[in-house]
Amino acid sequence: MSGRIVVAVTLVLALVLFPAVVLRALSVRPVPRPARLPAIPGADSGLAPVRVDPAAGVLEVVLGPVRLAAHTMGHRPPIQLVRVPAAGAFHGYPWEITDARGRRLPNQLLHNVNLIDPDEQELFSATARHVFAAGRETEPRTFTSLIGYPLAAGTRLLVISMFSNPFV
């Protein structure tokens, strides 16, 4: 019985909220933006190289090396601007932290990482579009090829990250 009530309440809420969302979407006026935003000083330093493995279908953004002392609670490397070298789409977000030899390190060392498209804006606001985010608790996900974020060759992405080392 309670399952039917939940479904009915969900359906009613969806029917009530849907027109409000549609009306909100229709009332939003895009903020005029240049075709491409200007260069971001200091961000295009090459500290976050991008690697592409076409055979595996993998685009890899490498952050670091980063040195973390014990009990470091918030190390934020400089914001980086990377360019996607080939067209494709994000269909998942596996991530890992490794040492210089490629050995896996604990996920607790990552506080967060965000990929932001500075040349596109969010649907309902004039802020730059958030493409991807992960934190130490984020499990890897892979989606079907029907779901993804399309990327053109040359797309710029801001990489904003923070690391922490709770270990002794």
Contact 163, 68 (CB under 8 A): yes
Residue 10 CB partners (closer than 8 Å, separation 6+): none
What count of residues does the chain have? Answer: 168
The confidence score (pLDDT) of residue 23 equals: 46
* pLDDT score, position 58: 84
Give residue 41's pLDDT.
60
Place of tokens 């980086």: 80
User: According to the model, what pLDDT value does residue 43 have?
Assistant: 59
80 phi/psi in degrees, rounded to 5: -115, 150
- Check if the beta carbon of residue 116 is closer than 8 Å to that of residue 90: no
Quote the pLDDT of residue 45: 66
CA angle 158, 52, 137 (to 5 degrees): 55
Contact between 72 and 34 (Cβ < 8 Å) = no
Mean pLDDT per 10-residue interval, the chain, length 168 residues: 44 44 48 57 70 84 84 88 88 85 90 91 87 89 84 90 87
